[in-house]
Chain A
Amino acid sequence: MVHDHDFKGHLHGDNFQISLVSHSQITRLYSRFTSLDKGENGTLSREDFQRIPELAINPLGDRIINAFFPEGEDQVNFRGFMRTLAHFRPIEDNEKSKDVNGPEPLNSRSNKLHFAFRLYDLDKDDKISRDELLQVLRMMVGVNISDEQLGSIADRTIQEADQDGDSAISFTEFVKVLEKVDVEQKMSIRFLH
């Protein structure tokens, strides 16, 4: 049986926007969490994620899995799980409560972009270097393209985005390049109920 106090205990004290997720949605995600948790110890490890077949064939699979785990840790509990998933709530839900003084919601446009930025930025130095860009490119396009071609694509991308001339893309430059892209729609997952 799934009880209210299980969740309130996990989520108490966290950002108020997680509590905006409805009770039935939390129940379903908790059910999902437990079904992934084969070890039955209340936390997920990287193997638990890697067992999902579609995630295994996703080129960014490993990076996405890493996004769940805080720095240096190997286990994620339900609260951390929800926190990461909260980035993908549709932005319209925030219309219900506009708390100007509260912390910025996790699913704001800026935070969504930050999430994507972190997928590129492996060493967490707040810059996407040419090497990091090459790595992601290689993951996505496979082996068909030669190193030179890939290098030129990376160079072109950096050239277009780079404004302060450091041959790397900072977060502000990243946001600027994507200002016309409908981030809200592309990085949102809608619940059916």
Chain B
Amino acid sequence: MFLLLPFDSLIVNLLGISLTVLFTLLLVFIIVPAIFGVSFGIRKLYMKTLLKIFAWATLRMERGAKEKNHQLYKPYTNGIIAKDPTSLEEEIKEIRRSGSSKALDNTPEFELSDIFYFCRKGMETIMDDEVTKRFSAEELESWNLLSRTNYNFQYISLRLTVLWGLGVLIRYCFLLPLRIALAFTGISLLVVGTTMVGYLPNGRFKEFLSKHVHLMCYRICVRALTAIITYHDRKNRPRNGGICVANHTSPIDVIILASDGYYAMVGQVHGGLMGVIQRAMVRACPHVWFERSEVKDRHLVAKRLTEHVQDKSKLPILIFPEGTCINNTSVMMFKKGSFEIGATVYPVAIKYDPQFGDAFWNSSKYGMVTYLLRMMTSWAIVCSVWYLPPMTRETDEDAVQFANRVKAAIARQGGLVDLLWFVCRCLEFLFCPGLGSESC
């Protein structure tokens, strides 16, 4: 019943040895560098190899398509419409500047036809803008061997299919378990580490340890996703007493940003595993977690955020994304209130390279776990992070205009502005404490 085959014990031994070797390799090449924040450059090498393979695959596909007389659509590099050359922001500034002059008889001119310009600009940007070009299957210039990005996957050649099959094997049978193991290590270290640090008395040593525990665990998670990140302008990194605002906020963005800086997170308390992590984290460091019921109470949210921001010794805030996207169609009109609080906003633009995996989180379609699994079965996540110069609200701006200015700055650098409404709401709270009972 036990060892029926003569070489069963041999198999068991081999298994044991290979697991030990794997574990040691993991430790040496991935976790140790994560602890100290250094890198062996393995991921960059991996990326270069992948690019070469993708280029070959694309050539092969194009050749195959030509042979079979299929049409491969290329992205439209020129615009499709003739655009008005004036810039929208300049025009808005012009209109608003003309109203700020003090002379009584110099009232700004307004015509009913003034809206034509904005209407047309709006339509132009709906038809075609520089930023929202997503690479659909037809437009992807090079195929990255993921069938999820090439909906027209057809049989072109044996070699290509074999390559694709090999890709699937590697991704699901080798990379995925490795990444899950790393993620597990990272998360458990985070929970255990922060809980232990939480027992220490408050002081500089606790802060120091807390910072490093957080950073270390986030770095492990970054490696768990095989995220290859390039940081730009690190001198503009968020400082204490500020708010960090990023575009495209998905759980991965949080990991990417938090592995390069020490932030206080703001978000809703979740149940399950997330809740465990949240409760552990808050022991070591003052994160701001809201109960579901508290989020409805805008004043409470505003009050807690304001208190945090005003305390200069507190860490910069990083707003954690929410799962649901509530429809925000009303135009906010704020009356002039008392804008005393001036927190500095540090915009961060994150731009993903779609070649290696589409990092967009369609929260109505995928839950968080599905999304993370999708990320873990992609080749890698390659992104660039730009730390933009800090922005403060000008005296003649209201909260909405300021939020839009921040949005525009991020969009210019990083592209798609996703789920930013929640962040803008928070900005509105902070800068309009006298909002009272006005309904928006």
Contact = CB atoms under 8 A, between A and B. Distances in A.
Main secondary structure of the interface of B (DSSP, over half): loop
Main secondary structure of the interface of A (DSSP, over half): helix
Interface in A156-170: 157, 161, 169
B120 A186 contact: yes
B82 A157 contact: no
A35 B82 CA distance: 20
Contacts of B362: 38-40
Interface in B399-419: 401, 404-405, 407-408, 411-412, 416-418
A65 B126 CA distance: 9
A116 B314 CA distance: 49
A139 interface: yes
Contacts, number: 196
Interface stretch (A12-20, A91-99, A144-152): A144-152
Contact of B129 (A29, A53, A140, A145): A53
B123 A62 contact: no
Interface residues of B, number: 72
Contacts of A56: 404, 407-408, 411, 417
Contacts of A141: 95-96, 99, 108, 110
A83 to B, nearest CB: 13
Interface string A16-29: 00000000010011
B333 interface: yes
B118 interface: yes
B364 A140 contact: no
A167 to B, nearest CB: 15
17 contacts: A35-B133, A52-B129, A53-B412, A56-B407, A58-B88, A58-B125, A59-B92, A62-B331, A74-B327, A88-B120, A119-B115, A137-B110, A139-B331, A139-B333, A143-B396, A183-B116, A187-B119
Interface of B: 71, 73, 76, 78-82, 88-89, 92, 95-96, 99-100, 107-108, 110-129, 131-134, 136, 138-139, 152, 325, 327-331, 333-334, 336, 360, 362, 364-365, 396-398, 401, 404-405, 407-408, 411-412, 416-418, 421
Given A35-B136, A143-B401, 20 more contacts: A1-B138, A2-B73, A31-B138, A31-B139, A39-B362, A50-B328, A51-B418, A56-B417, A57-B92, A58-B125, A66-B329, A88-B123, A116-B116, A143-B396, A144-B99, A157-B112, A183-B116, A187-B119, A187-B120, A189-B82
